[in-house]
Structure 1
């Protein structure tokens, strides 16, 4: 059975909702999935699954987009892993009011690339809470991850 892990950072609840949508989609494909809030997660858990997903927000502090405080240790630990043979995807919610819209989504994608993991889908960036068109994007995102994992 294919296994996936979703780790999310959520201040407003939007990314928790995004993680839930992706989790439900994985279950439709028969993927066993574990969803964890980032402060409770261990980056090494990604070594035990086939598909790795991070859903994060970007914290805007004095105009600069930075990783959420609670995700920094996880991010640093992630970059130290060898995830060759794993598929990854990144997604997240942000606010287009800020110039640094969803930059943490890109930061996590770069970190995954450093691990040797294979990008399974284009990152999904959502303005605030997911709406119907965003849910469709997350459905496509999840299917692409499952398809990419099956092709490895």
Structure 2
């Protein structure tokens, strides 16, 4: 089964929890999930995996958080053709652009040639009990979709 990088930026712990739950789902489906904060890795590390899930919380008016910016800029150097990918994150519907960082990440993945294999996962704040299972399901489905399209 696939080795998947799950890289995220989290300030309050909400996006980190989403990432952990997604990684659980990948492992439940028989995959290997490597969980890393974007502050502890660089975009080039994507090349060491078969698939990638990137996540961030949304800052301000739909922006990437500061700690994701270096990773995002490093992605400019990558050719992700053939990579399976998806995005996830947390946000606040009180802002005019809900989970805008997730959309920016997905667009960057597409721009660099990655194949987006499933719709982004967007969670308001941190996951409630039902959303925790949604996050695990997201991970399981990602791995299953990667296997199906390989």
* Contact 2:3-2:33 within 8 A present in 1 as well: yes
Offset, 1:2: 1.4
Structure 2: unaligned runs, 5 residues or longer? none
Offset, 1:46: 0.8
Larger relative contact order (CA 8 Å, sep ≥ 6): 2
Secondary structure of residue in 1 paired with 2:62:
strand
Offset, 1:147: 2.1
Deviates more, 1:101-110 or 1:72-81: 72-81
Structure 1: unaligned runs, 5 residues or longer? none
TM-score, structure 2 normalization? 0.93
Query: For the residues of structure 1 that align with 2:44 and 2:111, how far apart are their CA atoms?
Result: 15
2:76 aligned residue: 79
Asked if 1:107 is matched to 2:104, the reply is yes
Asked if 1:125 is matched to 2:122, the reply is yes
2:134 aligned residue: 137
Deviates more, 1:139-148 or 1:31-40: 139-148
**What RMSD, in angstroms, separates the aligned Cα atoms of the two structures?**
1.3
1:25 aligned residue: 25
Q: How many residues align?
A: 149
* Contact 1:3-1:32 within 8 A present in 2 as well: yes
Secondary structure of residue in 1 paired with 2:77:
coil
The runs of at least 4 consecutive aligned structure 1 residues that moved more than 3 Å come to none
1:56 aligned residue: 56
Query: For the residues of structure 2 that align with 1:79 and 1:102, how far apart are their CA atoms?
Result: 22
The 1:12/1:3 distance shift into structure 2, 3 A limit, reads same
Secondary structure of residue in 1 paired with 2:30:
coil
